[in-house]
Chains A and B, each alone.
Chain A
Amino acid sequence: DAKTTQPNSMESNEEEPVHLPCNHSTISGTDYIHWYRQLPSQGPEYVIHGLTSNVNNRMASLAIAEDRKSSTLILHRATLRDAAVYYCIRSYGGSQGNLIFGKGTKLSVKP
């Protein structure tokens, strides 16, 4: 049970921003939110993570709601290479906590 909810698919135009939503209404205080993406014919790769504050890195931004029950991955300017399945994941606490992947959101980018 992934315990996160994402839309099955989204579409974007190249060069435009993309907002990928994720619902995690049962999140606990110590769970981080991670985003991974999987390009076609590849294994998943890390994108970004956060706990409470918004986060930025070279790939994307992560906006976390104040109540932490939802978050949004923001790609500022989508490129064709951003077409992938994006996974929003809660990490469970404990030294052996594992990432539980859901089905993710398939992002299509149109030229």
Chain B
Amino acid sequence: DVKVTQSSRYLVKRTGEKVFLECVQDMDHENMFWYRQDPGLGLRLIYFSYDVKMKEKGDIPEGYSVSREKKERFSLILESASTNQTSMYLCASRPTGAVSPDNEQYFGPGTRLTVT
């Protein structure tokens, strides 16, 4: 059974803290993604990576960075957490190639981050 796991389901951090959200997939997928989900705004793409050590900005990269040192692991970093980064964070992975019928995207369960 394919699986994308995220390090925490719930996380509470203080303003200004450095926050690491970890995502691991066991499907040997090349592509990995970080989204955030907010009420009324749907899922928005923060960053994605199509290979180890490669990263691309999504629609809302400001305030975030990412790291992909190993194929199976993609980390989202909040350098200095702020209250407007309180959100649900979703990680996903997908095989390489164009978004096509064979390239279903798999999501993790999400991390609900609260910044106080």
What 0/1 pattern do residues 69 to 111 of A give for CB contact below 8 A with B?
Answer: 0000000000000000001000111111111111110000000
List A contacts of B41 (CB < 8 A): 103
Q: Give 30 A-B contacts (CB < 8 Å), ordered by A residue.
A: A32-B99, A32-B100, A41-B110, A42-B110, A43-B90, A43-B92, A43-B108, A43-B109, A43-B110, A44-B43, A44-B90, A44-B92, A44-B107, A46-B106, A51-B101, A87-B42, A91-B99, A91-B100, A95-B96, A95-B97, A95-B98, A96-B31, A97-B98, A98-B33, A98-B45, A99-B99, A101-B44, A103-B40, A103-B41, A103-B42
Which are the 8 A-B pairs with shortest beta-carbon distances?
Answer: A43-B107, A91-B99, A101-B43, A103-B42, A97-B99, A46-B104, A44-B107, A43-B90
